[in-house]
Amino acid sequence: MSPNLRSLVPTTVSLCDAEKDNDPKHTSRLCKGYLTKKESDGVLRQMTWPPQSLDLNPIEMVWDMIVVTCWLLYKWHCKCNNLSDAEVMRMYAFKSYIAQGLCKSGKSLEKNRGWPSSGISSDYETKKRQGPTAPIPIPDVRLDATAHWIIMSEKKGRCRVPGCKGTPNAKCRKCNAHLCFTSTTNCFLKFHTE
């Protein structure tokens, strides 16, 4: 809230209503004190909402409608390709896949040309199911060529590239995956390009 709220309120309006729900940023001491002072000065009137109240934010509803429509199109596409129900992602998995992609992906620095190859993506899917390790990120994040930095971990971990048996200390900061990076083996590059 701006300190010069009075200048933003038209002269014909003597009072401004401040809506607030029980979001932590609205219930902080700083915010409560500021709003209470402005209310006692006659600048605004506070409107309190009950906790867990309905949020009528239209953009959130529009985003949800878009995602649900995309999921329905995905289900229709899977049905046309004769996939079984077990192979089709549930809506919550679909939403989390989209969220992970939106949160972690960036622009690719290289242009992909030609037909997509059936490289080692299927091997990664197999490796995902082999054991209780950190999950391999989705291909959109793994291959986005943005902010993948090598860091050294205190603990060793199994290399996430299929076929590699190494247990390196090096790992990708963004993907949180242990990857071999030595003078003879560069699983880091292979993991982020294939």
The DSSP code sequence of 78-146 is HHHTT--GGGSPPHHHHHHHHHHHHHH----SS---SSPP--SHHHHHHHHTSSSSPPPPPHHHHTS-S
Angle at 64 between CA 58 and CA 68, to 5 degrees: 145
DSSP state letter for 48: E
* Measured distance CA(57)–CA(170) in Å, rounded: 44
Tokens coding 114: 């030609």
Q: Which of 20-29, 136-145, 169-178 has the lowest mean pLDDT?
A: 20-29
The more confident residue out of 108 and 190 is: 190
Portion of the chain with pLDDT greater than 70, in percent: 65
pLDDT tens for each residue of 28-83:
888 888 888 888 888 887 776 666 566 566 777 788 899 999 999 999 999 999 98
Q: Which amino acid is at 64?
A: D
Helix (H, G, I), strand (E, B) or coil at 170: strand
- Give me the count of residues in the chain: 194
State the pLDDT at residue 76: 92
Q: Is the pLDDT of residue 11 over 60?
A: no
Global confidence as pTM: 0.40
State the pLDDT at residue 140: 77
Q: Which amino acid is at 14?
A: S
Q: What confidence tier does 181 reach under pLDDT thresholds 50, 70, 90?
A: confident
State the pLDDT at residue 106: 60
Q: Is the pLDDT of residue 97 over 90?
A: no
